[in-house]
Structure 1
Amino acid sequence: MSRFQLIKALFGSVLRVLLRPRVEGAERIPGTGPVILAGNHLTFIDSVILPLVCKRQVFFIGKDEYVTGKGVKGRLMAWFFTGVGMIPVDRDGGRGGVAALMTGRRVLEEGNVFGIYPEGTRSPDGRLYRGRTGIARLALMTGAPVVPFAMIGTDEVQPGGKGLPRLGRGHRISVHFGEPLDFARYEGMDRDRYVLRAVTDEVMSEVMRLSGQEYVDMYATKVRTAA
């Protein structure tokens, strides 16, 4: 049994008992080949829940600070996050975005599942914000289908994205997966900014439909900076 399978067996059972997640459309994730999972981001535990509700292992980018902590807590966090598929990347500075993009490309070219939050950060107020075009570049560079998904209720379990989740208090979460989106019609156009925006907006439109969130046509990072 791999570390991922062990973690999923242990924590997946706890998740089902405490949060009773409703998962819809997981069968829409192709069983083989490269796949991009693109969804909304409400709180920290989204990245814990997503790998545990998917049959295939989901690889995703995470802050390197999650695996560099000291002491027992730091070692446990590193063991868990790298075990479920997190790839630590230093995203600070101008090269962070490029490193994340190239990492995602490598994961997909190896035939794996790559999870991404196109908003680029957690929603500051529960609304859905404009997507960054990195998702479109990945899809067009690799030819991987995009399966949109929506997290619902995770921000009620862990408000503000910090602190321990409110387990066993009647909160229930849902994860909805949509139909795969194929962008083969845009092959070779991964440097056309209008195409990249169109692809990104199509993905975000599906995420909005699945989540029921209000859409805001601006970047969430600008809202956080202004707050």
Structure 2
Amino acid sequence: MRSGEGTAVLYWLMKWVFMGPLMRAAFRPEVRGADHLPRTGGALVASNHLAVLDSFVLPLMVPRRMAFPAKAEYFTTPGPVGTLQRWFFTGMGQVPIERGNGRAARAALDTGIRVLREGRLFGIYPEGTRSPDGRLYKGRTGVARMALEAGVPVVPVAMIGTDRANPVGSRFWRPVKITIAIGRPLDFSRYAGIADDRQVERAITDEVMDAILALSGQEYVDVYASKAKESAGDAEAA
């Protein structure tokens, strides 16, 4: 069995045999607007990010197989535990991403662009990190760069209820109903050929965030979530 075939088998096992049935029983997920997800071709799926649970529910509940970025350490841990961990994250459709400096960030973008050019779905959280308080925070422009360089549409998605099913700081998931709202694809082909234009990237990112906001009904905060977390940490330390 070739590598691509093996990862596909792992994914479908996760979706229909292992994780998927458990999630359907525990969270009774409702997917709205599933027909907005392109049936073929590459597309960037941009979602809000309320909980770790998002990265499990979203790829397993949408109709098409989706790739998501995950820390490279999940795929390189040695020993039996590492093998099981690698098998699990591969089955979930995750792809390894190095994190750290600017070079790592560029490599992460390149990985997503490669997946998109292969005609696959790639999931991304424009906020860059989980919301610290359930509100929607300012999007980072990586979503715009990937959409422009890969030449694909952006599909806005809102995860609703995952923060109650998987509260911050809790090790256990709670049986709370979850909704996945999928919006119409956003076409940015009008910007084709424009590269490294910060104003264009910010305009695209803001349009994506506006679409997510309309689906989620969250309160919007025009600050990066990472900055909000730093400020909260500084206040707590003080």
TM class by smaller structure: over 0.9
The correspondence of residues 57-206 of structure 1 with structure 2, limited to 5 A, is: 57-69=65-77, 74-160=82-168, 162-167=170-175, 171-206=176-211
Deviations 1:131-155 (A, max 9, x none): 0001001111111011100001101
Give the CA deviation at 1:69. 4.5
AA of the residue aligned to 1:56: R
AA of the residue aligned to 2:50: L
2:33 is aligned with 1:25: yes
Deviations 1:68-108 (A, max 9, x none): 45665544332121112111112122322111100011001
Residue 236 of structure 2 is matched in structure 1 by none
AA of the residue aligned to 1:206: A
Deviates more, 1:106-115 or 1:9-18: 9-18
Residue 15 of structure 2 is matched in structure 1 by 8
AA of the residue aligned to 1:123: S
Q: TM-score, normalised by structure 1?
A: 0.93
Match of 1:52, SS?
helix
Could you tell me which runs of 5 or more consecutive residues in structure 1 were left unpaired when the two chains were aligned: none
Aligned length: 224
Deviates more, 1:147-156 or 1:8-17: 8-17
Instruction: Find the aligned partners of 1:121 and 1:58 in 2 and give their Cα distance.
Output: 19
AA of the residue aligned to 1:152: I
Give the CA deviation at 1:64. 2.0
Instruction: Find the aligned partners of 1:23 and 1:177 in 2 and give their Cα distance.
Output: 8
Match of 1:2, SS?
helix
Give the CA deviation at 1:13. 1.4
Give the CA deviation at 1:65. 2.9
Instruction: Find the aligned partners of 2:108 and 2:172 in 1 and give their Cα distance.
Output: 28
Report the CA distance shift for 1:103/1:146 in structure 2 as closer, same or farther (over 3 A).
same
Q: TM-score, normalised by structure 2?
A: 0.89
Could you tell me which runs of 5 or more consecutive residues in structure 2 were left unpaired when the two chains were aligned: 1-7, 234-238
Report the CA distance shift for 1:162/1:141 in structure 2 as closer, same or farther (over 3 A).
farther
Instruction: Find the aligned partners of 1:63 and 1:109 in 2 and give their Cα distance.
Output: 22
Instruction: Find the aligned partners of 1:128 and 1:201 in 2 and give their Cα distance.
Output: 12
AA of the residue aligned to 2:11: F
Deviates more, 1:1-10 or 1:48-57: 1-10
Q: Please say if residues 155 and 161 of structure 1, whose CA atoms lie closer than 8 Å, have aligned partners that are also in contact.
A: no
